[in-house]
Amino acid sequence: MRIRIIKWLLVVFGIILSINVAWASNLPRENQRIISIEGSQYLLEEEVPVETDLIKGNGDLIIVELNASRLTLYQNGVKIKSYPVASGKPTTPSPVGEWHVIDKGVHWGSGFGERWMGLNVPWGRYGIHGTNDPSSIGRRASHGCIRMFNRDVCELYKMVEIGMAVHIVGDFSAVTLRREYQRKSTGQDLQLVQLRLREKGFDAGDLDGRFGRQMEETVLEMQRFYGLPLNGKIGLSEQYLLGLR
Amino acid sequence: MLKNQKRLLHAILIAIFLLVSFCFLRELLWPKVKVGEHLVPINPNAELKEGQIYRLRFWDYDLPLQLADKSYHDYITGLIEKFTKANPQIKVEVSFLNLADGSARLKEALRKGEQPDLYCSAFERPEFDYRYQVPIGPYLTELEQQSYLLAARELASVSGIQCMLPRWIGVGLWLGNSKLLAQLGLSVNKIQAQGWNWEELQQASQKLTKQQFLLGGNLGQPGILKELTASVAGTVGCATNEKPSDLARAFLEELLKEKKSLALEDPNLLGNFFEGKVALVGGMRPIFYRLIKERLTERKADWQLVWLPVPSRYAERNAMIAETSMIAVYRTRPILDEQVTAAMKLAKYLGAAPEIKVWQKLMVIPAHQRPLTAWLKDQQRLGNDCAWMLKWLQGTPIWHESCFD
pLDDT band of residue B70 (cuts 50, 70, 90) is confident
Check residue A147 and give its pLDDT.
Answer: 95
One-letter amino acid of B294: E
* CA nearest to B271, candidates B237, B296, B290, B252: B296
Q: Are A224 and B100 in contact (CB < 8 Å)? A: yes
Other C-beta atoms closer than 10 Å to the C-beta of B316 total 12
- Residue in chain B closest to A228 (alpha carbons) equals B264
Residue A129 annotated among the catalytic residues of the structure: yes
Check residue B89 and give its pLDDT.
Answer: 94
Dist CA A45 CA B265 (whole Å): 33
- Residue in chain A closest to B63 (alpha carbons) equals A225
Q: Are A224 and B99 in contact (CB < 8 Å)? A: yes
Residue A36 near residue A108 (C-beta atoms within 8 A): yes
Dist CA B104 CA B112 (whole Å): 12
CB pairs under 8 A between A and B: 65
Which range, A186-200, B251-265, B293-307, is most confident? A186-200
Cis peptide before B244 (omega within 30 of 0): no
Residue A145 annotated among the catalytic residues of the structure: yes
What 3-state class would DSSP assign to B198? helix
Q: What residues contact B166, with CB distance under 8 A and at least 6 apart?
A: B148, B149, B152, B153, B155, B156, B324, B325, B326, B327, B351, B367, B368
Residue A136 pLDDT greater than 80, yes or no: yes
**Start-to-end Cα distance in chain B:** 78
Domains of chain A: 34-169 (2.40.440.10), 188-241 (no CATH)
Check residue B243 and give its pLDDT.
Answer: 72
Dist CA B143 CA B12 (whole Å): 51
- Does the reported pTM lie above 0.90? no
Mean pLDDT value across residues A115-129 = 92
Q: Are B295 and A243 in contact (CB < 8 Å)? A: yes
For an interface test with A, give the residue of B270, B272, B297, B363 to mutate (most A CBs within 10 A).
B270
Residue B227 pLDDT greater than 70, yes or no: yes
Residue B168 near residue B325 (C-beta atoms within 8 A): yes
Q: What residues contact B146, with CB distance under 8 A and at least 6 apart?
A: B402, B403
Q: Are A224 and B298 in contact (CB < 8 Å)? A: no
Mean pLDDT lowest among B42-56, B65-79, B377-391: B377-391
- Residue in chain B closest to A236 (alpha carbons) equals B267
* CA nearest to A226, candidates A195, A187, A194, A200: A200
pLDDT tens for each residue of B340-395: 999 999 999 999 998 888 888 888 889 999 998 888 888 766 665 666 777 777 76
Question: How many angstroms from the chain centroid is the CA of residue B55?
Answer: 27
Domains of chain B: 41-170+323-404 (3.40.190.10), 174-318 (3.40.190.10)
Chain B residues within 8 A (CB-CB) of chain A?
63-66, 71, 98-101, 123, 218, 264-265, 267-271, 274, 284-285, 287-288, 291-292, 294-295, 298
Question: How many angstroms from the chain centroid is the CA of residue B385?
Answer: 20
Mean pLDDT value across residues B305-319 = 82
Residue A68 near residue A62 (C-beta atoms within 8 A): no
What 3-state class would DSSP assign to A52? coil
User: Mean pLDDT for chain A?
Assistant: 84
Q: Are B270 and A227 in contact (CB < 8 Å)? A: no
Residue A45 near residue A123 (C-beta atoms within 8 A): yes
For A201, the closest of B65, B288, B295 (CB atoms) is B65
Residue B135 near residue B35 (C-beta atoms within 8 A): yes
pLDDT band of residue B170 (cuts 50, 70, 90) is confident
Residue A210 near residue A98 (C-beta atoms within 8 A): no
Q: At what angle do helices B198-205 and B242-255 cross, to 10 degrees?
A: 20
Dist CA A134 CA A132 (whole Å): 6
* CA nearest to B289, candidates B272, B276, B308, B302: B308
For an interface test with B, give the residue of A197, A221, A230 to mutate (most B CBs within 10 A).
A221
For A226, the closest of B269, B274, B291 (CB atoms) is B291
* CA nearest to B308, candidates B388, B252, B231, B228: B388
Scanning B328-368, the segments in alpha helix (DSSP H) are 337-351, 357-362
Q: Are B271 and A245 in contact (CB < 8 Å)? A: yes
**Set of chain A residues whose Cβ sits within 8 Å of the Cβ of B264:** 228-229, 237
Dist CA B23 CA B16 (whole Å): 11
Mean pLDDT lowest among A54-63, A226-235, B45-54, B270-279: A54-63
Distance from CA of A193 to the nearest CA of B (A): 16
**Set of chain A residues whose Cβ sits within 8 Å of the Cβ of B265:** 229
Active-site choice (A129, A143, A154, A167): A129
Distance from CA of A63 to the nearest CA of B (A): 27
Question: Phi and psi for B365 in degrees, rounded to 5?
Answer: -110, 125
Check residue A57 and give its pLDDT.
Answer: 58
Which DSSP helix (H) or strand (E) runs through B72?
A: helix B72-86
Residue B200 near residue B309 (C-beta atoms within 8 A): no
Q: Are B99 and A225 in contact (CB < 8 Å)? A: yes
What 3-state class would DSSP assign to B331? coil
CA B328 to each of CA B93, B121, B160, B340, B355: distance values in angstroms, whole numbers, following the listed order: 16, 8, 16, 11, 20
* CA nearest to B322, candidates B93, B219, B169: B169
User: Mean pLDDT for chain B?
Assistant: 85
Higher pLDDT, A100 or B360: A100
Dist CA A163 CA A56 (whole Å): 5
Torsion of CA B255, B259, B261, B263, to 10 degrees: 120
Q: Are B288 and A228 in contact (CB < 8 Å)? A: yes
The per-residue DSSP string of B359-378 comes to HHHHT-EESBHHHHHHHHHT
The per-residue DSSP string of A156-190 comes to HHHH--TT-EEEEESPPPP----S-B-TT-BSHHH
Higher pLDDT, B234 or B209: B209
Q: Are A229 and B100 in contact (CB < 8 Å)? A: no
Residue B191 near residue B306 (C-beta atoms within 8 A): no
Distance from CA of B133 to the nearest CA of A (A): 25
